[in-house]
Amino acid sequence: MTLSGKRILLIISGGIAAYKSLDLIRRLRERGATVRPVMTAGAQQFVTPLAVGALAASRVYTELFSREDEQDVGHIRLARECDLVVVAPATADLMAKMANGHADDLASTVLLATDRTVLAAPAMNPKMWTHPATRRNRATLAADGIRFVGPASGEMAERGEAGEGRMAEPLEIVAAIEGLLAGAKPLAGRKAIVTSGPTHEPIDPVRYIANRSSGKQGHAIAAALARLGADVTLVCGPVAIPDPAGVQLVRVERAAEMRDAVVAALPADVAVMVAAVADWRVASAAGNKIKKRPGEAPPPLQLAENPDILKTIGHHASRPKLVIGFAAETENVAENGRAKLERKGADYIVANDVSPATGIMGGDRNRVKLIARDGIEEWPEMGKDDVADKLAALIAAKLLS
């Protein structure tokens, strides 16, 4: 009962995704929340107040100028007598009203009058979501403190339409709600393993084989999971960034050390293998610094393959319920990521293009494709902290399902 005693004001606006609000209400009540629904006129064209009220076990509010409700300024009570306001779905029209301070119906008036945190789950056609007006409204709302979950990418209700604009699934919204409400930790009692950073494979005591991974994305994911209440073990290669709060840190240098530390941290509920592990190591590292000698050719380096940590975990006898790998590619991102998914035994692969021109490796922003066996979801470019929060919400939703 992770939301026991919490009061959720759910505003349902008029889009085809309104049908998902019925499942959202059920999921919230399963977790002990009280749900008070507000429906726009458009929402009532897709789902009925009777169905919403039956699932919520509550009166459904639809009219701003209700003689009964407004005798004691009912819209102000609705706006204040809750712990969180959730807008699901949040249509382009309602987002425009919110961004510009309109108050011409009960939903928009409540949103203007509330002093509570507002969580919006956008849902609309991909062209509407990417329209400059919607992007401006979204940016305005974010600057005003409105929180967002989704939208996701996928098939639309309109035949032949696909792209970003699908409302987040109810369990993803529940996870976001639990993360926002004080004391609500959807991953409490769950154990997570995250790897981060590069590995350094010694050539001699001075030199090593490595890559340009900064560890920023892995550290952000570990922190996001910890904020949702998970017991996080972060196995980290050599990095020069601050340690994330609330995690158990295990520092390693070589790939073999990282594998051993990850296996030692099992069992776990989820493993997120973000580290850019070196594929090869020097078969026999020199005990002393290799000296450059005049007239002599450079010494040959015989390479050996490093252990495959993701594959080891994906096929382990104590395999976590959820295994997520990362694929840093410079070409054929989706194809290589899909092949890696099958080869490694993962549930998801988070693939990205780390070509030098993208600035992703070592940078603060990321653009990823979430690859599953049933399809690929392309996420827009965002900060690595935002990628981490979005992935953590997905993990919470999957573990709660």
Mean pLDDT of the chain: 89
Task: Identify the pLDDT of residue 66.
Answer: 63
Mean pLDDT of 290-319: 92
- Would you say residue 388 has pLDDT above 70? yes
65 is in an annotated binding site: no
- The residues, any chain, with a CB within 8 Å of residue 125's CB and separated by 6 or more, are 156, 158, 161, 165
> How many CB atoms sit inside 10 A of residue 58's CB?
16
Band (pLDDT 50/70/90 cuts) for residue 73 is very low
pLDDT range class, residue 159, cuts 50, 70, 90: low
Mean pLDDT within 226-233: 92
Q: Is 149 left (phi over 0), alpha (psi -120 to 50) or beta?
A: beta
For 341, 354, 360, 365, the CA distances from 357, given in Å and listed in that order, are 26, 8, 8, 13
Render pLDDT for 92-112 as a digit per residue (tens, 0 to 9).
999 999 999 999 899 999 999
Chain segment 109-148, per-residue pLDDT in tens = 999 989 899 999 999 998 999 899 999 999 899 888 899 9
Please give the pLDDT value at position 193: 98
Name, of 100-109, 181-190, 250-259, 373-382, the range with top average pLDDT: 250-259
> At residue 299, does pLDDT exceed 60?
yes
Using pLDDT thresholds of 50, 70 and 90, give the confidence band for residue 69: low
Residue 247 pLDDT grade (very low, low, confident, very high; cuts 50, 70, 90):
very high
pLDDT confidence of residue 311:
95
Would you state the pLDDT for residue 71?
A: 47
- Domains in the chain, ordered, with CATH? 7-180 (3.40.50.1950), 191-400 (3.40.50.10300)
**What's the average model confidence in pLDDT over 342-370?**
87
Residues 164-179 have a mean pLDDT of: 87
Cα diameter, the chain: 97
- Judge whether 202 is annotated as a binding position: no
State the amino acid at position 340 in one-letter form: K
Please report which confidence band the pLDDT of residue 4 belongs to, taking 50, 70 and 90 as the band edges. Answer: confident
Residue 118: predicted pLDDT: 93
Known catalytic membership, residue 211: yes
Check whether 289 is labelled as a binding-site residue. Answer: yes
Residue 303 labelled as part of a binding site: no
290 marked as binding residue: no
The larger pLDDT score, comparing residue 291 to residue 69, is at: 291
pLDDT digits (tens, 9 = 90+) for 304-318: 999 999 999 999 999
Q: Which of 211, 288, 332, 336 is catalytic?
A: 211
pLDDT at 281: 94
Is 307 one of the annotated binding-site residues? Answer: yes
